[in-house]
Amino acid sequence: MPTDSFDLQPNATPTASPIREDILKNPGFGRYFTDHMAHVRWTLDAGWHGREVRPYGPLTLDPAAAVLHYAQEIFEGIKAYRHADGSVWTFRPEKNAERFRRSAHRLALPELSDADFIGSLKALLAQDHAWVPTPKSAADECSLYLRPFMIASEKFLGVRPAHEVDYYVIASPAAAYFKGGVEPVSIWLSSHYNRAAPGGTGFAKCGGNYAASLAAQKEASAHDCGQVAFLDARENKWIEELGGMNLFFVFKDGRIATPRLTDTILEGVTRDSVLTLARDEGLSPEERPISIDEWREGAASGEITEVFACGTAAVITPVGELVTEEGRIRLTAGSDNPIAKRLRTKLLDLQYGRAEDTHGWLTKLV
Ligand code: COI
């Protein structure tokens, strides 16, 4: 999709360069937004139309808009990376586009084509590329975080799939998701709440899943933990994922395991990339059920040498300990997380164009 198929309404009062440069020095995560947003509208009669890039700003929504009542909404997370020659690239956008369609199908929203999904990122970046930070070193994971999302905007309180829908992409300069960067995070094990149940929406990236995780996230914060780990809803035994990231376990014999995908687990693009990179590194990746007992026993015996979380926002972040109501699960091996660090470096080197893109994972945006 050529970017000129998106009409441009330029922002008449864009952020002044010195202010933008100041923001890019310390953007945090999800606090600042660029000057424009991309938008495509869908109606039952006309399908997708009205492609545009317009000034970033508040949306006008009718108070009866279906999304505000029935949470008919989905989103994605994907980043833009600046390479040393100044060009701007994104990572496996067709995977996000495909997941966005799966999420749309589950939430009874219209499916957006790859051409519109990737075209909207290109059209937005054509205007806002100056907001993509330049990494200061190979350890610097600064990027422009892109947030495509789709909402049911029809003014109607009947419970049925909306006949009017809007798709947007906003963009936010981002540093590390966790304040400590690559320092190990503590994770809280939720024993009162589950994130998803079979037949539900766990595999879809919809706001409702994240809303359902917040009470547990509150418990996590009360225990000084940065994230929550959820177990399966049927047996409360099998590890599923964190509130917004997948989990990996590294074993001392070179195996590296992550919970196998079910309809209660979000299929992370980083998760999939880690499985491939681990194989490239001579490790033996496994996708299989992993129980909380295996975590506890493997940590105590030294069989498990590392645990890490991964996601677009968090990249790869080591997990230092799991805090549970019965006590703490720490790795006796006292690991310095060499595998997590190695995979993280491999992934970042690829994303920032410092390593050869042997898997064809990069797409040029600008
Ligand atoms: C991401 O990694 O992109 C996520 O969606 C996690 C979170 C920031 C919602």
pLDDT in tens, 306-320: 999 999 998 999 999
Residue 337 CB–ligand 1 contact under 6 Å: no
Instruction: List the chain domain ranges.
Output: 3-175, 185-351
Q: Does 286 have pLDDT greater than 90?
A: yes
Name every residue whose Cβ is closer than 8 Å to that of residue 344 and which is 6 or more positions away in sequence.
182, 315, 316
The CATH number of 185-351 is 3.20.10.10
Which residue, 203, 217, 189, is CA-closest to 291? 189
Beta bridge partners of 231: 239
Given pLDDT bands bounded at 50, 70 and 90, which one contains residue 69? very high
| Distance from C-alpha of 274 to C-alpha of 320, rounded to nearest angstrom | 19
Average pLDDT, the chain: 96
d(CA 46, CA 51): 13
How would residue 250 be classed by pLDDT, with cut points 50, 70 and 90?
Answer: very high
Q: State whether the beta carbon of 313 lies less than 6 angstroms from ligand 1.
A: yes
Name the β-bridge partners of 308. Answer: 248, 318
What is the tens place of the pLDDT at every residue in 26-65? 999 999 999 999 999 999 999 999 999 999 999 999 999 9
Please state which CATH class domain 3-175 belongs to: alpha beta
Which stretch of DSSP H or E encloses residue 347? helix 338-351
Same fold yes or no, 3-175 and 185-351: no
Interval between CA 204 and ligand 1 midpoint (Å): 13
Share of the chain above pLDDT 90, in %: 93
- The residue whose C-alpha atom lies closest to atom 7 belonging to ligand 1 is 244
pLDDT in tens, 328-341: 999 876 569 999 99
Residue-level pLDDT at 331: 87
Say yes or no to pLDDT of 221 above 90: yes
- Residue with the smallest CA separation from ligand 1 atom 3 is 77
Instruction: Write the pLDDT tens digit of every residue in 153-172.
Output: 999 999 999 999 999 999 99
- Please state the atom number of ligand 1 nearest to the C-alpha of residue 270: 2
CA of 176 to the centre of ligand 1 (A): 12
User: What residue's CA is closest to ligand 1, atom 8?
Assistant: 313
Q: Is the pLDDT of residue 3 over 70?
A: no
